[in-house]
């Protein structure tokens, strides 16, 4: 992150004793989950609750009663039937919970939560707590404490000393999350964790009915599938499934906007028809099927049926092209996309020509979109490489074409795919090999999955022909499953096709990945997006000569580039993760202020005496970044709790009692390793900051040697 100015001073710490560290603050006690030595921020899900019914005999009749009383929108069993989860209207939730807690036949009722660090991961509470105590805490006292809190000690945890499992009874005044945080304030408690239920699927996986056929997104192997020939979409979706604020423009022949996978709240943005100029880019001719399939690969909505696109959460801007590539049509296309707010412009088409350099106006139209669009960050423009198995810029001695359409030494040039501001996409197969038809050359940026098949192209006065010499035999690799025109028109008689392909398929796959990247980091400019895609691509190799020209360009040069695959096959997860990491590392700051307190402060072995060290910030501003360095020497660091309190009075736990027998602490706490610090974001920095340290034991002493603040505003 850029540092404009750094001020450094050293200050004598302020010491205060006789105060008790409260651990998790009362206002956060219900949304901080104690888990594995960490404190995880939770959000309440505002339309789900869970209940645990006393006996199986009562379950059927009680559930029927609750259905009539609450009219839930959905009911499901959780944790092998231990819990029943019910979805209700948001305004019903608290009343439903209150009623459930008053019914004798319901043993336990709770909110449902989400992990802030893993959105959409539902956390279901069970009525159990696991608590580990210090060895000197008598069992009689443990049971007395349990009774006060409404807990019953059920059993010990085998293999772990002084650790017990407690049941939360109806007498408990707080839920297990709050109880755990309350217990962690007790000096005799080492660990207190609620028992929670999380789905066993660690990666997001859409429920759309044809998703299992969309091998290009994710697969576990099988017939016709090489290991990791997919784009690793599921891990990328754990970061983001796309934002409606990111608009992916797909430019193509026409789009079936009645298709259910191309609809959704806020999905459609500024459709335009450059061909008929009626604003509705719908198919009007039997052959206008291409655009629907292309759009499905990039942005198909997650509906629970059909297919899903790489970026289902992004918006979709359909632009019907004229079918001609004159200067004005290209200007209208790109200027229109920019003016209507496109973030990404995907172009799965090329001129019906062997040699097609761009005019100045065409070059300029693309350049302006890629540099002036998206409020100056640049629209990300993508083109498919083409399907003729020819160089984007080079000579080939042609022979064996149908009707001798081409003969002799021929210069090939694809002006759109060669534009320096464009991301050019070639095609790989489900076997991680070059698609036989895919064009190639030094201008290819990345490859993406598609089908396999014979090379072909459209030529004026000839139509669509296979390029020569003709390739005989089978083409190993699976087709692409995507949306198709609804009804009997289209590539199939259903609303979906499993045989789509060409670099026309590969291009929207990468466009979808770009949509995810910009959702994770909207500050990236177009050049940065291209660089990240290339830097994070998988280096697939194919050393087998292609069956048409006998060339073998599937290896990489010393720059890491392959003529067939560019810088490799796109990896959605790596690209999105890199975009997200850069967003955190490159927050734009106007100023960075650093203060250090280096006077030694004694930490007594006294759980009633909290120590405080203060640093005063005289500057004003709102917090955008924070780093807190703490250096402590102590006989047993696991005895300590460390918190920071900002001038507005917000306290954040930096370090729980998880350091065990360590004796030296030198650590910098940041947004990345201490997510709770995000609670201080956008708050004022002016005033007194305090580091608060409490020794929960009376055995070992220690010293705070130094602490410092680095605040970005």
Same domain, 333 and 452: yes
**Smallest Cα–Cα separation from 529: which of 587, 567, 576?**
576
Other C-beta atoms lying within 10 Å of the C-beta of residue 687: 14
Angle CA 484–486–489, to nearest 5: 80
Same domain, 473 and 524: yes
Q: What CATH number did the domain enclosing 609 receive?
A: 2.60.120.260
Tens-digit pLDDT profile for residues 451-487:
999 999 887 666 788 999 999 888 999 999 999 999 8
Domain end residue (candidates: 117, 152, 183) = 183
**Smallest Cα–Cα separation from 254: which of 42, 483, 457?**
483
Same domain, 560 and 654: no
Does position 56 have pLDDT exceeding 90, yes or no? no
Same domain, 511 and 400: yes
Domain end residue (candidates: 183, 198, 216) = 183
Residue 291, in any domain of the structure: yes
Tens-digit pLDDT profile for residues 545-597:
999 999 999 999 999 999 999 999 999 999 998 998 887 666 677 899 999 99
Same domain, 56 and 80: yes
Q: At 9, is the pLDDT very low, low, confident or very high (cuts 50, 70, 90)?
A: very low
Does position 21 have pLDDT exceeding 50, yes or no? no
What is each CA distance from 559 to 93, 179, 542, 564, in whole angstroms? 58, 57, 17, 14
Is residue 314 within 8 Å of residue 529, measured between CB atoms? no
Same domain, 638 and 674: yes
Out of 232, 252, 253, 546, pick the active-site residue. Answer: 252
**Span 249-278, average pLDDT:** 91
Q: What CATH number did the domain enclosing 522 receive?
A: 3.40.50.200
Q: How is residue 341 written in tokens?
A: 């707010």
202 or 509, which is more confident? 509
Out of 350, 445, 498, 504, pick the active-site residue. Answer: 504
Annotated catalytic, 504? Answer: yes
Same domain, 552 and 619: no
| DSSP state for residue 521 in the 8-state scheme | -
Out of 216, 230, 290, 696, pick the active-site residue. Answer: 290
Tens-digit pLDDT profile for residues 354-365:
888 887 878 889
pLDDT for the residue 198: 67
Same domain, 354 and 488: yes
Domain end residue (candidates: 585, 619, 640) = 585
Q: At 199, is the pLDDT very low, low, confident or very high (cuts 50, 70, 90)?
A: low
End-to-end CA distance of the chain: 12
209 or 9, which is more confident? 209
Is residue 63 within 8 Å of residue 75, measured between CB atoms? yes
Same domain, 528 and 610: no
Annotated catalytic, 686? Answer: no
What is each CA distance from 37 to 33, 191, 675, in whole angstroms? 10, 8, 14
Does position 87 have pLDDT exceeding 70, yes or no? yes
Residue 314, in any domain of the structure: yes
Long-range contacts of 201-207 (CB under 8 A, 24+ apart): 203/234, 203/235, 203/237, 203/238, 204/120, 204/234, 204/237, 204/238, 204/241, 205/234, 206/302, 206/308, 206/312, 207/302, 207/304
pLDDT for the residue 81: 67
204 or 638, which is more confident? 638
Does position 114 have pLDDT exceeding 50, yes or no? yes
Rounded to the nearest 10°, the torsion over CA 465, 289, 349, 268 is 180
**Smallest Cα–Cα separation from 263: which of 554, 492, 486, 61?**
486
pTM confidence score:
0.61
Same domain, 249 and 295: yes
Does position 7 have pLDDT exceeding 70, yes or no? no
Residue 708: which domain range?
Answer: 6-22+589-712
Q: How many domains does the chain have?
A: 3
Residue 226, in any domain of the structure: no
**Smallest Cα–Cα separation from 59: which of 99, 105, 104?**
105
Same domain, 130 and 179: yes
3-state secondary structure 150-202: CEEEEEECCCCCCEEEEEECCCCCCCHHHHHHHHCCCCCEEEEEEEEECCCCC
Strand bridging mode 106-115 / 118-133: antiparallel
Tens-digit pLDDT profile for residues 135-191:
889 999 999 999 999 999 998 887 778 899 999 999 999 999 999 999 988 888 988
Q: At 92, is the pLDDT very low, low, confident or very high (cuts 50, 70, 90)?
A: very high
Q: How is residue 201 written in tokens?
A: 């699927």
Other C-beta atoms lying within 10 Å of the C-beta of residue 237: 27
């Amino acid at each position: 992150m850029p540092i404009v100015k750094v001020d450094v001073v050293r200050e004598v710490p302020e010491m205060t004793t006789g105060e008790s560290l409260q651990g998790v603050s009362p206002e956060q006690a219900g949304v901080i989950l104690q888990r594995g030595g960490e404190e995880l921020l939770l959000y309440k899900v505002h339309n789900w609750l869970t209940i645990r019914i006393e006996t199986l005999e009562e379950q059927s009749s009680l559930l029927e009663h609750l259905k009539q009383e609450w009219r839930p929108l959905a009911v499901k069993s959780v944790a092998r039937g231990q819990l029943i989860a019910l979805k209700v209207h948001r305004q019903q939730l608290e009343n439903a919970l209150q009623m459930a807690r008053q019914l004798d036949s319901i043993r336990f009722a709770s909110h449902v939560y989400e992990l802030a660090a893993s959105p959409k991961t539902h956390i279901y509470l069970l009525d159990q707590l696991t608590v580990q105590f210090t060895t000197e805490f008598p069992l009689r006292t443990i049971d007395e404490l349990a009774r006060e809190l409404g807990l019953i000690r059920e059993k010990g945890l085998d293999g772990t000393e002084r650790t017990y499992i407690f049941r939360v009874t109806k007498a408990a005044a707080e839920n297990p999350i709050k109880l755990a945080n309350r217990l962690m304030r007790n000096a005799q408690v080492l660990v207190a964790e609620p028992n929670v239920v999380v789905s066993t699927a660690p990666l997001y996986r859409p429920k759309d009915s044809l998703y299992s056929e969309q091998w290009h997104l994710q697969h576990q192997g099988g017939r016709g599938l090489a290991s990791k020939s997919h784009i690793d979409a599921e891990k990328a979706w754990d970061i983001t499934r796309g934002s409606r604020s990111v608009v992916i423009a797909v430019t193509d022949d026409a789009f079936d906007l009645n298709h259910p996978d191309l609809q959704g709240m806020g999905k459609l943005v500024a459709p335009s028809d450059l061909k008929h100029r009626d604003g509705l880019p719908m198919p009007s001719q039997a052959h206008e099927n291409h655009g629907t399939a292309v759009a499905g690969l990039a942005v198909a909505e997650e509906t629970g049926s059909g297919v899903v696109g790489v970026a289902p959460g992004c918006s979709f801007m359909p632009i019907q092209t004229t079918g001609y590539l004159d200067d004005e049509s290209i200007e209208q296309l790109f200027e229109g996309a920019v003016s209507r707010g496109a973030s990404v412009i995907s172009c799965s088409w090329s001129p019906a020509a062997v040699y097609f350099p761009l005019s100045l106006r065409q070059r300029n139209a693309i350049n302006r979109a890629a540099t002036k669009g998206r409020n100056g960050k640049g629209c990300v423009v993508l083109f498919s490489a083409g399907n003729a198995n020819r160089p984007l810029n080079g000579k080939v001695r042609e022979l064996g074409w149908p009707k001798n359409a081409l003969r002799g030494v021929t210069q090939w040039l694809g002006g759109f795919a060669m534009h320096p501001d464009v991301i050019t996409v070639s095609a790989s197969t489900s076997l991680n090999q070059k698609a036989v038809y895919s064009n190639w050359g030094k201008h290819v940026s990345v490859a993406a999955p598609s089908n396999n098949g014979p090379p072909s192209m459209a030529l004026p006065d000839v139509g669509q022909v296979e390029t020569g010499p003709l390739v005989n035999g089978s083409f190993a690799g699976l087709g692409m499953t995507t949306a198709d025109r609804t009804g009997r028109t289209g590539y199939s008689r259903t609303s979906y096709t499993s045989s789509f392909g060409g670099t026309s398929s590969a291009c929207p796959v990468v466009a979808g990945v770009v949509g995810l990247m910009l959702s994770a980091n909207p500050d990236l400019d177009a050049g940065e997006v291209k660089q990240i895609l290339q830097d994070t691509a998988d280096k697939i190799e194919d050393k087998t000569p292609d069956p048409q020209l006998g060339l073998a360009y599937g290896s990489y040069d010393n720059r890491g580039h392959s003529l067939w695959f560019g810088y490799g096959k796109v990896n959605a997860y790596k690209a999105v993760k890199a975009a997200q990491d850069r967003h955190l590392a490159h927050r734009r700051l106007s100023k960075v202020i650093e203060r250090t307190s280096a006077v030694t402060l004694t930490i007594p072995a006294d759980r009633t005496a909290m120590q405080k060290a203060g640093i005063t910030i005289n500057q004003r501003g709102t917090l955008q970044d924070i780093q807190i360095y703490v250096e402590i020497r102590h006989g047993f660091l696991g005895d300590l709790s460390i918190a920071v309190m900002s001038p507005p009075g917000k306290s954040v736990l930096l370090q729980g009692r998880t350091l065990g027998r360590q004796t030296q602490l030198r650590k910098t706490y940041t947004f990345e390793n201490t997510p709770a610090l995000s609670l201080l974001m956008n708050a004022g920095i002016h005033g007194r900051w305090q580091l608060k340290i409490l020794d929960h034991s009376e055995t070992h002493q220690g010293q705070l040697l130094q602490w410092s603040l680095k605040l970005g505003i």
